[in-house]
Structure 1
Amino acid sequence: MTERPLGAQISHMLKDRGVDVIFGIPGVHNQEMYRGIEEAGITHVLARHEQGAGFMADGYARATGKPGVAYVITGPGLCNIMTPMGQAYSDSVPMLVISSCLDETAARRGQLHQMKDQEGAARAVCDWSETARTAEAAYGLIDRAFGEFKVRRKRPKSLVVPINVLEGQAKSFPSKRPPPSTYHLGADLVLDVKPAVRNAKRPLFIFGGGARKAHNFARDVLEKTDAACFMTYAGRGVIADNYPLNFGPTLARPASADVIAQADVVIAVGTELAEVDLWRQYLGCAAQLIRVDLDVEVLGDGQEAHSQLQIDATVFLSSLSHDLKEHSAATDWTTDEVINFRSRMRAEIDAERPGILPVVDALKEVLSPYTMIYSDMTQFAYAAKEVYPMDRPAHWHHPYGFGTLGYALPAAIGGKIGVGDQPVIAILGDYGFQYTVQELAVAVELELTLPIIIWDNGKLGEIEDSMVRAQIAPNAVVQRNPDFCKLAEAYSAASAAPRDLAAFQQAIKDALAADGPTIIHVKSDIALK
């Protein structure tokens, strides 16, 4: 068995477990983890800030389905990546963050990068945080993380390793373990809900992000039952937008509760039905509600489901699809009521956010359906994610739960690294872009073809609107922006400042053909001129 410093062994073990890319920043405290990266054959992406490294790992994981891995230093490095960890936790993204830590903190003060409780700090924003004080513990925790990524709800993990342990000689890591078996809790209960679906006259499915891998079975079930459906924002694309009884990702619209109340059975698959899904406390279901989810905490929430199945969405929907093999239903849902509802919701969105939807439509016209989109907390994305048609899941990524500004640029960089030649774009607001603008240097450095759309309304528009609704005089919501095109030039990136929709579309086409990133600066009145 080859002996190496543990820091080097960890990189070799990660490569053995399928890791090809690591995002991070080296420092004197974690430099031992960098000893084995090149030897192991892993690509390291140097972020400009640990927050950027975390969002890149998140974007990579969402794009590829593989865990995103990041290396950070003791103390501030860990603190800086905690925001991305919180985002990954809320949105069920597999991420492993490995940080160094001081050897001893109880009896000494004033050490470089010292924290009172680094392990505990990370635990506040991830699935678990553990300190490995031996090589064996580090190996075991890495395998635990990768095993749980396969069979449990995907959420970030934090592995903390003391500096002296990283520096110490360690025997080689153990052989790769067989993948853990999945125990499908509640599988026998599927039989109990099948009659309710078969006999319903107005069955309604709600698909969340947890159903993305089961989209083929989901579509088969709907075709065999003529059921209607909604999707959460994270579940967009599970059912193609052109399915005739698809009410779309409009659950957050108050009128969706009226539609849901007309169903005689509602099956919610892979969704928390959380505040950020509904923007109201209750779903509005007046009939039988069936919840399907891996997370028992979700099943026990305040929606008071009649049936709660702790089971993987793919197992549930494949079983249901098989059972409905000979079933051909004719429900009471009509395409006219779906068309009318979606038309009313579009008009409502257009009235709330004038000038955005024509730009959304123009964007859709020039993008391939294979384009992977990363958006930030910006009014353009808020409108677009309710109307932009998606025919496949996991192709629009947004910081849904934690709601972090500055997400889209580094996440899109991570996504582009993960998918290679597949087109990727980023959509940000003028304010949020400046949270992580420094990561533009990474996209330039790696020559990533990446259109970066900056939606510029010169203010924190959403906050201003919220203040007005609350009868608060708008305060601290207007900022002075830089010249974004000159900023792009300073980073050696391309830029464009289209003044009409035709020029906007051409700028997108040009950016997708460029050998590097392009800033596309779009004023919020572009469609109103």
Structure 2
Amino acid sequence: MQRPLGAQISHMLKARGVDVIFGIPGVHNVEMYRGIEEAGIAHVLARHEQGAGFMADGYARATGRPGVAYVITGPGVLNALTPLGQAYSDSVPVLMLSSSLDDVTSQRGQLHQMRDQRAAAETVCDWSAEARAPAAAYRLIDRALSEFAASRPRPKALKVPIPALGALADPAPAPAAPVALPQASHAQLYDAIEAILGARRPLFVFGGGVRGGAVVDVLRQTGAASFTTYAGRGLVPPDQPLHFGSYLARPDSASVCAQADLVVALGTELSEVDLWRDALGHGGPMIRVDIDPEVLAGLRPGDTGILGDAAAFLDAMAVAIPARVEDRAPCWDAAEVARTRARWRAEVQAERPGVVEVSDALRAVMPEDAMIYSDMTQFAYGAKEVWDMPRPHHWHHPFGFGTLGYALPAAIGGAVARRGRPTVAIAGDYGFQYTLQELGTAVELGLSLPILLWDNAKLGEIEDAMVRSQIAPNAVVARNPDFLALAKAYGARAAEPADLSALQSALLEAFEAPVPTVIRMTRDLVS
């Protein structure tokens, strides 16, 4: 049955598992909206294309499935580039579909015209392409979905000219069989096991690219110690005696890594935002397991790179090791690990007053299955180190690109994906104002979403950086609105607890409310 191409694309996405689209309709992309309801896809109306992109990101992180955003030509695309850049940094499968002008070479002065929309999106995406015919659109969408499933997931952008969107088209072909991630060979697996069991002090580093796997079994079988990156928190349970936590950014974690005679890094870039130094600090060899060949480039002599899925690699290790040896005795001193963690926690407490106490209070009442989305704010910076997560991939943060305004719209996307399960946003007073208009979307959807707002009435992290650099603090204080009144103006709830006990009560009440709740937090909570 022929339909306009825009409608056929919506039907195609539905057939491939897409059930929600985030976006904003406009005069240029109305044909994309013709088929959404007919296809059985829900649409979430954002208040800004940046919000739509972050919602798609939050949805993708919550589900592991692609998040899809529909935007208009020109300014709609540009508004969405920030969330696409964030998705690229954090390996999130986001597909942006946009309308485009048919001719920007011979004509000038058209609505939403820009010189090269495709190239603009390519600067922050894995790829950006134009489809001028139905067959091309279908192939490119399937290419994006296939690459999301079989390689490192990064955002893709597809633009379709307005005339093509409205022209009749045949349906998309039936979905093809799913593709799988690359897997390590048996030889690579057994060589790695031999190296790990032969090491005197093996150390594992688990990153956000580890999507499951027998982590605890492998640590027990090998006697190894472990770190997680911020994105890998929750992969190792907090009660593991040889786990150093997510303190890799502590400067003297390098001295701990130097004690290892073998490091096994799984699903992590070990990037600047993981370490905040040039190198991990180890002197011995490293085994790296990752699905991205680029991460495996530049290994040192003696290192081993394995292209494969880290979770499957861990599962295979857990099966293969018992065939060789009994559980190995611990290779590290658990008491020393505990003392080191306590020292690092105390450092965070001294550097960021109030954050540790507030984090402890919130963690004590936070549901185990809560999914948290945080913004670039001092509270999140400290909490990411001291807040042990009971489950992996339940705290999402804008790591590499580091954009402000992420938390609220991303949490909306996560809450849409997880209806009936607890979702939380954590934002700072300055960054919250980047995307606070999405409160309207959250109220409209009736989301029981606590929004924990850390209000220090300034750009606190920047002020501290200026002081450390011996620069007189400048342009770090901004006049804030009355956040509680603003929340109520949107139809949300608002709370300003006076102490930690009241904060806990406010959080629990917010999970039961029929609309989002802005909960203003200050350092006075612990005074």
Write the letter of the residue equivalent to 1:45: V
Unpaired runs of 5+ residues, structure 2, are none
Alignment of 1:108-507 (within 5 A): 108-184=107-183, 188-214=187-213, 217-301=214-298, 306-326=303-323, 327=325, 328-507=327-506
1:212, CA displacement in angstroms?
2.7
Write the letter of the residue equivalent to 1:315: A
Q: 1:9 to 1:29 in 2, by over 3 A?
A: same
1:27 aligned residue: 26
Q: 1:203 to 1:407 in 2, by over 3 A?
A: same
Tell me, what secondary structure is at the counterpart of 2:232? Answer: coil
1:331, CA displacement in angstroms?
3.4
Separation in 1, partners of 2:347, 2:341: 10
**Counterpart contact for 1:85–1:156, Cα < 8 Å:** yes
Separation in 1, partners of 2:180, 2:416: 31
Tell me, what secondary structure is at the counterpart of 2:525? Answer: coil
1:80 aligned residue: 79
Separation in 2, partners of 1:294, 1:373: 26
**Counterpart contact for 2:184–2:306, Cα < 8 Å:** yes
**Counterpart contact for 1:212–1:235, Cα < 8 Å:** no
**Runs (4+) of structure 1 moved beyond 6 Å?**
302-305
Separation in 1, partners of 2:523, 2:301: 42
1:186, CA displacement in angstroms?
5.5
1:112, CA displacement in angstroms?
0.7
Aligned residues: 525
**Counterpart contact for 1:201–1:331, Cα < 8 Å:** no
Separation in 1, partners of 2:186, 2:173: 34
Bigger mean CA offset, 151-160 vs 517-526: 517-526
1:443, CA displacement in angstroms?
0.7
Q: 1:181 to 1:469 in 2, by over 3 A?
A: closer
**Counterpart contact for 1:201–1:330, Cα < 8 Å:** no
Write the letter of the residue equivalent to 2:495: A
Bigger mean CA offset, 316-325 vs 184-193: 184-193
1:101 aligned residue: 100
TM-score between both structures, scaled by the size of structure 2: 0.98
1:23, CA displacement in angstroms?
0.1
Write the letter of the residue equivalent to 1:147: S
Write the letter of the residue equivalent to 2:507: I
1:180, CA displacement in angstroms?
2.2
1:361, CA displacement in angstroms?
0.5
**Counterpart contact for 2:104–2:113, Cα < 8 Å:** yes
Unpaired runs of 5+ residues, structure 1, are none
1:5 aligned residue: 4
Identity %: 60
**Counterpart contact for 2:69–2:96, Cα < 8 Å:** yes
2:48 aligned residue: 49
Separation in 1, partners of 2:369, 2:446: 21
Tell me, what secondary structure is at the counterpart of 2:517? Answer: strand
Tell me, what secondary structure is at the counterpart of 2:52? Answer: helix
**Counterpart contact for 2:181–2:309, Cα < 8 Å:** no
Residues 205-230 of structure 1, C-alpha deviation per residue, up to 9 Å, x if partnerless? 0000011332xx12211111121000
Tell me, what secondary structure is at the counterpart of 2:461? Answer: helix
Q: 1:47 to 1:467 in 2, by over 3 A?
A: same
**Counterpart contact for 1:187–1:316, Cα < 8 Å:** no
Separation in 1, partners of 2:126, 2:299: 22
Tell me, what secondary structure is at the counterpart of 2:421? Answer: coil
TM-score between both structures, scaled by the size of structure 1: 0.97
Residues 382-415 of structure 1, C-alpha deviation per residue, up to 9 Å, x if partnerless? 0001011112101001001100100000000000
Q: 1:97 to 1:130 in 2, by over 3 A?
A: same
Tell me, what secondary structure is at the counterpart of 1:148? Answer: helix
Tell me, what secondary structure is at the counterpart of 2:70? Answer: strand
